[in-house]
Structure 1
Amino acid sequence: MRAGWLALQMGAMLIGASLAGCATPSHITQPLRSAHDNHAQWQGRISVQVQGHTPSLMSASFSLRGDAQNGELDLHSPLGTTLGALQWTPQRVQLSDGSKHQFFTSLADLTEQATGAALPVEAIFGWLQGRDVQATGWLADLSASAQGSITARRISPLPEVTLRIKLDL
């Protein structure tokens, strides 16, 4: 139990440090909430474990709104501190850490910066809806999706990545 808590704390500290260290000042942007108020919302816990020469683990509570084209993902530490807010539209992809914003050319680049791995966002929205959506290089296990648990592994390209999502039901 203590080792699990330590891993969770270390993951939260790592993502917090990476978000704070990589953000660059920019102008204040408007929240995207109005773009997808009618879309589904999910809350729970997410972890992304990257294997390889320098393994990493990101673990956080999350709140996800929208869809693969227009959405927001808020990440929180175990103590409730906001680690980062990811926002995307067809025109803008950004990561905010409060007063600073960092802009990206793609959603894959954004998720890699925030979690340590480029995530298949379109497939994740399908998985959250219980659909077995295929994503190149990823194998999803939806056998426990009715209980709010999703696991997916990226086996190609290396390094291997394990994504775990546990929804608050």
Structure 2
Amino acid sequence: MGAILAGCATPSGTGKPLSAAQPNSPEWQGRISVNVQGDNPTSMSASFLLRGDAKHGELDLYSPLGTTLGALQWTPQWVQLSDGGKHQHFKSLSELTEKATGAALPVDAIFGWLQGRDVQASGWLADLSAVSQGLLTARRTAPAPEVTLRIKLDQ
């Protein structure tokens, strides 16, 4: 499981929240789970609030009790994870999502998939058949290990 989910803490952001900078940006909330197969299988599950887009965005992850587990933020200039007052910076969204969820997620594609668009992501296959009901499943088969992403939106 990603280190972000090991403890419960309330992050404090740096700078202006992206939601304030982009008041009309898309927003989704619900539950997310990421299961990684392989020699050391891991899984992560959390409530989430996703705002923005693949260029400027925020992803907040919450425990079942509503405690903030971590806040992911990104712009073209920086990518960071805020966890319990600590801020870790990353070179890419792939590194950030791997740290937070246990797998490098195709953030560009996820934003498209949530809007019902069949966006291609290398190694990933998305099932968009139930997106209109708020369900998204995507599977990465290459490179190994296999990863399954499930999103259930609040409706």
TM-score norm. by structure 1 comes to: 0.84
Q: Which residue of 2 aligns with 1:148?
A: 134
SS in 1 for 2:55: coil
Indicate which of 62, 67, 84 corresponds to 1:76. Answer: 62
Paired amino acid for 1:130: G
Structure 2 portions without partners, runs of 5+? none
**Number of matched pairs:** 152
Report the alpha carbon displacement of residue 97 of structure 1 after superposing the two structures with TM. 1.1
- Conservation of the 8 A alpha-carbon contact between 1:36 and 1:71: no
Aligned counterparts, 1:5-44, within 5 A: 15-17=4-6, 29-30=14-15, 31-44=17-30
SS in 1 for 2:77: coil
Indicate which of 28, 36, 40 corresponds to 1:54. Answer: 40
CA distance in 1 between partners of 2:13 and 2:136 (Å)? 35
CA distance in 2 between partners of 1:19 and 1:49 (Å)? 20
User: Does 1:89 find its partner at 2:78?
Assistant: no
| Structure having the larger proportion of residues in strand | 2
Structure 1 portions without partners, runs of 5+? 1-10, 21-26
CA distance in 2 between partners of 1:103 and 1:157 (Å)? 25
Indicate which of 112, 115, 122 corresponds to 1:129. Answer: 115
SS in 2 for 1:127: helix
Q: Which residue of 1 aligns with 2:153?
A: 167
1:78-121 per-residue CA deviation (whole Å, 9 max, x = no partner) reads: 11110000000001100001311000000000000000000000
Q: Which residue of 2 aligns with 1:114?
A: 100
Report the alpha carbon displacement of residue 36 of structure 1 after superposing the two structures with TM. 2.3
Consecutive aligned runs of 4 or more in structure 1 exceeding 4 Å deviation = none
CA distance in 2 between partners of 1:28 and 1:80 (Å)? 18
Report the alpha carbon displacement of residue 14 of structure 1 after superposing the two structures with TM. 6.3
Please tell me the root mean square deviation across aligned C-alpha atoms, in Å: 2.0
Percent identity over paired residues:
72
Report the alpha carbon displacement of residue 18 of structure 1 after superposing the two structures with TM. 7.2
CA distance in 1 between partners of 2:154 and 2:52 (Å)? 17
* Larger CA deviation: 30-39 vs 53-62: 30-39
Indicate which of 121, 139, 157 corresponds to 2:143. Answer: 157
- Conservation of the 8 A alpha-carbon contact between 1:36 and 1:65: no
Paired amino acid for 1:165: I
SS in 1 for 2:94: helix
Paired amino acid for 2:118: D
